[in-house]
Amino acid sequence: MGIFEAILLTVITAATPLVLAALGELVTERSGVLNLGVEGMMVMGAACAFIATQQTGSPYIGILAGIASGAVFSLLFGFLTLTLVANQVATGLALTILGLGVSGMIGEAYVGQSGIKLPQIVFPILSDIPFIGPLLFRQDLIFYLSIALVIGVQWFLFRSRAGLKLRSVGDSHSSAHALGINVIRTRYLAVMFGGGCAGLAGAQLSLVYTPQWVENMSAGRGWIALALVVFASWRPWRVVIGGYLFGAVSISQLYAQAFGVGIPSQFLSALPYLATIVVLILISHNRRMTLINTPASLGKPFVPDR
């Protein structure tokens, strides 16, 4: 295996949780809800996936537990912001704090245990293609799911009737309501999808990336996922580009250090963030394009008049 291939493999592992969590948040935000609790849902997913895997011995049950815990946890956010119309920003932040605390508590007994790594699924024939084979066809289930989800979300948002409704709810909830679309229900589903994706991203952390549980193991990846949604200007394909770009820059700086290039490591560590800022500036340069893609009702509460 060449060094380039090795780097790409590491990049894929690092980028997958970012892509997954950002994709979920993208759908949530497209419905007009800003959920800043991604970090909390992700870390809950990581804890529950790890615990379920240790209890049952099956990482696949762990994946289900991760998705379910993220979705259930996001329901709390949904109930507070959609039913009780609480402030979305404050509730989202609270969700992150709560998630970090609760996951630390339920996971305490599991700290230091060696986990079970999610096995690779090898596609016969395809995996023998040089270079591409090992990279794309000798991966774990969560990687395949992430690719399928990107295609699925792209199709859902821009090719399906339900996706059109979801976007209309995000752009103008009053108009959508007037047209007879159930705004609150749509948003609940979108929030739960976001939670499920964040939970799956968490499961990737504790089952693939580093098969173990330690408190606060998401280490800020939920916040990066949030930034990626803006970076991607609410477009699924750009989430993939952004996620892998971010992963590539942050991984290659580690390889560059091990290789012995004489650039200060602090600068190399800051590179991914610098790259993000540069791209954000380039994107926001074109104001019209940004406005077209930004959900107009993002973060605004909706109270149906009865």
Partner 1 sequence: MKKLVFALAATAAVLGFSVQASAQEKAKICFVYVGSKTDGGWTQAHDIGRQELEKALADKIETQFLENVPEGPDAERAIERLARSGCGLIFTTSFGFMDATVKIAAKFPDVKFEHATGYKTAPNLATYNSRFYEGRYIQGQIAAKISQKGVAGYIASFPIPEVVMGINSFVTGARTVNPDFKIKVVWANTWFDPGKEADAAKALIDQGVDVLTQHTDTTAPMQVAAERGIKAFGQASDMIKAGPETQLTAIVDTWGAYYIKRTQAFIDGKWETTSSWDGLKDGILTMAPYTNMPDDVKAMAEATQKKIEAGELKPFTGPLKKQDGSDWLKDGEVAEDGVLLGMNFYVEGVDDKLPQ
Note the residues at the interface with partner 1 (CB under 8 A): 3, 6-7, 10, 14, 39, 93, 96-97, 100-101, 104, 108, 111-114, 117, 205, 209-212, 214-217, 219-221, 250-251, 254-255, 257-260, 262, 264-266, 269
CB-nearer residue toward partner 1: 111 or 132 = 111
Output the smallest distance, CB 248 to partner 1, in A.
12
Output the smallest distance, CB 44 to partner 1, in A.
15
CA pair distance 116, 207, nearest whole angstrom: 7
CB-nearer residue toward partner 1: 105 or 151 = 105
How crowded is the C-beta side of 68, counted as CA atoms within 13 Å?
Answer: 10
Output the smallest distance, CB 274 to partner 1, in A.
14
CB-nearer residue toward partner 1: 18 or 65 = 18
Question: What 8-state DSSP symbol labels residue 193?
Answer: H
Ramachandran quadrant class, 216 (left: phi over 0; alpha: psi -120 to 50; beta: rest): left
Output the smallest distance, CB 114 to partner 1, in A.
6
Output the smallest distance, CB 97 to partner 1, in A.
5
Length of the chain: 306
CA pair distance 90, 56, nearest whole angstrom: 36
CB-nearer residue toward partner 1: 5 or 171 = 5
CB-nearer residue toward partner 1: 117 or 138 = 117
- State both tokens at 264: 């200060």
Element (H, E) at 122: strand 120-122
CA pair distance 192, 158, nearest whole angstrom: 20
Count the neighbouring beta carbons within 10 Å of the beta carbon of residue 226.
Answer: 21
CB-nearer residue toward partner 1: 3 or 303 = 3
CB 203, CB 63: distance < 8 Å? yes
Output the smallest distance, CB 158 to partner 1, in A.
32
CB 12, CB 147: distance < 8 Å? no
